[in-house]
Amino acid sequence: MKRVDILSRLEKTGVVAVVRGATKEEALKASHAIIEGGMTGIELTFTVPQAAEVIKELVAVYNDRLDVVIGAGTVLDALTARLAIMAGAEYVVSPSFDIKTAELCNLYQIPYLPGCMTITEVQEALKSGADIVKLFPGSVYGPSIISAFMAPMPQASIMPTGGVNLANMADWFKAGAVTVGVGGDLLAPAAAGDFQTVTETARQYVAKLKEIKG
């Protein structure tokens, strides 16, 4: 039930913020700014220094917010996945598919979202228990690839990441995305310490999502 509950909450977020940062502090402030703007899905990447500590702190702060879902991104192996899960990550995202990571996430009943680019990779991910497939990088294909993948595999749940923005988000959902991952334009101001703009951009994404979902 834990896994089903997390997946349900993750899908309800609609838009997942892929949070990177040069420092632990930048990533924390960016995450808080995003949540303040109304976006409640956070994927804290392991390119962030002390990423596990950031996840632990975020989970502690938002423990009483069931709408907020904190996960780990750029997880390249099972060891990193376990560190993330022990820190409190509720889901694990990888840029590529890794069977050992899939097995570990299955063991702990944590959703695993591996990055896939081909129909063969999608098939392997689904066979290994992946609940949502991360289409990455989405910018290589465009929204039409989702319907192409789902023609032979209608059971696949796909989350495009990379190249998703306010201008094309509606196209991705129309094509069949279950949720989307965003980062570039949302997080860019954080590098300059402009977290207010991060919050304002997050609000724009929330408003756009409401418009799309009706």
Secondary structure element (H or E) that encloses residue 124, with its range:
helix 119-127
Furthest-apart CA atoms within the chain: distance in Å: 45
CB 11 within 8 A of CB 178: yes
Q: Which of 43, 57, 90, 208 is catalytic?
A: 43
Helices and strands, counts by H and E, the chain: 10, 8
Q: Which of 26, 57, 90, 134 is catalytic?
A: 134
213 is catalytic: no
Give the HSE-up count for residue 12: Cα atoms under 13 Å, Cβ half-sphere. Answer: 12
134 is catalytic: yes
CB 16 within 8 A of CB 42: yes
**Active site (catalytic) residues:** 43, 134
